[in-house]
Amino acid sequence: MTESIPASLRIVRGANRTLGRVAPSLTARLNQQLFSMPRRHAPRDWELALEMLATRRRLSDGLSLLEAGDGPTVALIHGWEGRATQFATFVPPLLQAGYRILAIDGPAHGRSSGRRADPYRFADALARVSREFGPLHGLVGHSMGGGSIAIALAAGLEARRVVSIASPASLRDVLGRYAAVMQMPPRATTRFIERFHHHVVRRGHRPVDVLELLEHVDTAALVIHARDDREVPFSDGERIAAHWRQAALMPVDGLGHRRILRDAAVVDATVAFLRG
């Protein structure tokens, strides 16, 4: 059966193939704009319980989050085009374990303001939450959220324990996979990655990839990754665990990239690890 490709994607791919050969810089700029503007998706029915369980907070910079519980603070941050309520399965067990939960809608995601996002903006959001709500005991990140945790820790954010779920090992690889999906020619791809790094430096971050950042992080971590993840390869989880000095890898099967957030064994392992 032939894969159904949206008409809009076919148009962008065709434009990239043609324009990318004659105007690689322009192609890189246009694709960077597309790459940094996430779509907002409504919560699924199973997520809505978290809105009822927690209190919605909005910070002065437009960042929105859900707060519940008392005790040591655990911050939860989702992945690209995700939302805080995707952690609905995690929150009741964490509350029962005695934690205070801060489930964050990343910039330009969920109910947070903004139109543009990337892992570095997510990392800045984690730092902002720590300043506003106090020290963090734990951090839990899914997909790009896990990558943003690595960036934040390397930049000085402190936490005792981290759980990284289905997270990419390399932002350069993520950019490369995006360029391949969008069928950008090689020169346009190179310019696209260079532009991303330029904007990162301009905002005060180091353009160092995730694995190199992790070599300087001492926080204890649990890396959970499904062998059948088709969006972020399982090998990324292996690489993260290998470079993170105090990390353990927990492979799982049959949970893909998103079902992993609803799995009872994954939730139990997360809570147990945060409790130490």
- 165 and 99 in a common domain: yes
- What pLDDT score does 1 carry? 39
- 190 and 248 in a common domain: no
Q: The pTM is what?
A: 0.93
Residue 45 lies in a domain: no
Cβ–Cβ < 8 Å for 24, 187: yes
Q: Which tokens go with 231?
A: 């969006």
Residue 43 lies in a domain: no
Q: Is residue 249 very low, low, confident or very high in pLDDT (cuts 50, 70, 90)?
A: very high
Q: For residues 92, 272, 219 and 127, what is the CA-based torsion angle, rounded to 10 degrees?
A: 0
Residue 44 lies in a domain: no
Strand partners, 136: 159
- 134 and 12 in a common domain: no
- 114 and 80 in a common domain: yes
- 93 and 147 in a common domain: yes
Average pLDDT, the chain: 94
Condensed to tens digits (0 to 9), the pLDDT of residues 200-243 reads 888 877 767 889 889 889 999 999 999 999 999 999 999 999 99
Residue 175 lies in a domain: yes
Q: Which of 207, 233, 267 is the last residue of a domain?
A: 207
Condensed to tens digits (0 to 9), the pLDDT of residues 120-173 reads 999 999 999 999 999 999 999 999 999 999 999 999 999 999 999 999 999 999
- 262 and 184 in a common domain: no
CA distance 221 to 49: 28
- What pLDDT score does 3 carry? 56
- 124 and 178 in a common domain: no
- Whichever domain contains 65, its CATH number is 3.40.50.1820
- 87 and 28 in a common domain: no
- 243 and 130 in a common domain: yes
**How many structural domains comprise the chain?**
2
Q: Look at the alpha carbons of 144, 150, 250, 73 in this order and tell me if their dihedral is positive or negative.
A: negative
Q: Which of 179, 207, 235 is the last residue of a domain?
A: 207
Residue 261 lies in a domain: yes
- 113 and 84 in a common domain: yes
Helix (H) / strand (E) element for 251: namely strand 247-252
DSSP 220-275: EEEEEEETT-SSS-HHHHHHHHHHSTTEEEEEESS-TTTGGGG-HHHHHHHHHHHH
Domain span holding position 223: 50-169+209-275
- 64 and 7 in a common domain: no
Condensed to tens digits (0 to 9), the pLDDT of residues 36-54 reads 999 999 999 999 999 999 9
- 244 and 153 in a common domain: yes
Q: 3-class DSSP state for residue 50?
A: helix
CA distance 81 to 273: 27
Residue 42 lies in a domain: no
